[in-house]
Structure 1
Amino acid sequence: MRRFTNQTVLVTGGTGGQGTSHVRALHAEGANVVIGAINADRGAALADELGDRAFYTHLDVTDEDSWSAAVRATESTFGALHVLVNNAGVQNPPAPIEETDQTTWSRILDVNLTGTFLGIKAAAPALRRATGGAIVNIASTMGMGGTAHYAPYVASKWAVRGLTQTAALELGRDRIRVNTIHPGVIATPFIHEPAAGATAAIADFYSPEPFAVPRLGEPIDVTRLLLFLASSEASFITGSEYVIDGGLLLGPALQAA
């Protein structure tokens, strides 16, 4: 039996680079997959591609009513919700704190942090009705240390760590596990295309060559870890953080003399 047979998973940001990988893999593992995203054309196209056990629902993660509607649609279509993947996220254009306007700050935190908070809030009752399940929050290695010129993004991902641990404590007795994945530099449009308002992409000034695993990560690298954490194989894991970065946080690898 596949790992998610007879289970329903809601993935936010389900049409992005990592989100699409997660959606396809979860569906291949037997899940009913709900693709939550703003882009209706891409969401509907992905649902059509997957066919049975997949549907798209409009979801603005910054809007509580949108979350309520998405959870209702999920339960109405598939009967229950078993897993939430808080994957939606946005990046700020690089700028020092002194030159970062409050509108940018608020936008990044609204999507990355408030969106995750609202997701947990909306999904928890549904997961409880399903007699338990899992929430996986996608954070970032930027949530493990400071990164110059990315204050809004860094702050949002640090905060997701604390939110995850708090939710794990509150929901554990309801058999709802909450964990965080911290991807490093993953080869998606998020890395290869400039953020809104930016002129350069992260990939333009980052090279993996000095690090232990000298390549960019691929979406499937993150997806494989997600599949484990969301499944019953991880039934004794909650409030935990998993870094997947090819050794980026370890610093440059030593070279043989």
Structure 2
Amino acid sequence: MTTPYPPVRPGELHVWWLTVPPAGTGTKTAARLLDPQQRERVARLKRPLHRHRKIMAHAGLRVLLAGHLGTLPSEVRLRRAVCPACGGPHGRPYAAGGHGLEFSMAHAGDGVLYAFARGPVGVDVESDAVTARTARTVAGLLPAARRRALDALPEPERLRAFLGCWVRTEAYLKGIGTGLAHGIGAAQGASADPAWHLMDLAVPEGFTAAAAVSERASAVAGSPPARLRVRTRVLASASVIGAAEPARTREGR
């Protein structure tokens, strides 16, 4: 079994950051932590760099979940909840036997963001290297009022404001369980939704990130909702690769 991580308690949001090592560093080893379905999805990616990043991101998630659940990363069983919009099997992900522990993951470039809470949670991270042209295109998906507010800003401020708006929007959609599959209409009233906390997250330079945390995650039984306490940690890539070494030994490779 892995060493347990500090327990996630009601009123807490545990945030982890993983910096993916250079392509090829431990890729095959880390891939042993993924289940057959994940390996198949990764294999469909055409670019080796994209495969490497995907493998490390999902291997890191399994390492963190294993630490919380007291099991091996390769034995974590991931499932999907029902989508609240259409009833399809693509809602929020969860770990079988998680006993109320919920999580969310996002990655951009070589950065991976994870969040754990005792209630529904969603996170998103984007690279600040996004071009102004891409930002304008994606901003076109936002409600008209938000687009007008962004357009009114000076160019140097517009990109930063767009990124902040977008990561909060996607974090909220992940939190409620629809993701982007049903468009962003459900996020129009996110900032005024009393059932959710939206917050910016501190991440390494070059990235912008946010979290959406359900009011359920900040509530302690028998008490009014408390101020959410955020705990931030770094997951070393070496520990992810190291966690896969027992799997390699069992396979005799």
- Which of the five TM-score ranges fits, normalised by the shorter chain? 0.3 to 0.5
Structure ranking higher on relative contact order (CA contacts 8 Å, 6+ apart) = 2
Query: Larger strand proportion, structure 1 or 2?
Result: 2
Using structure 2 for the length normalisation, give the TM-score: 0.33
**Structure 1 length-normalised TM:** 0.32
| Bigger fraction of residues in helix | 1
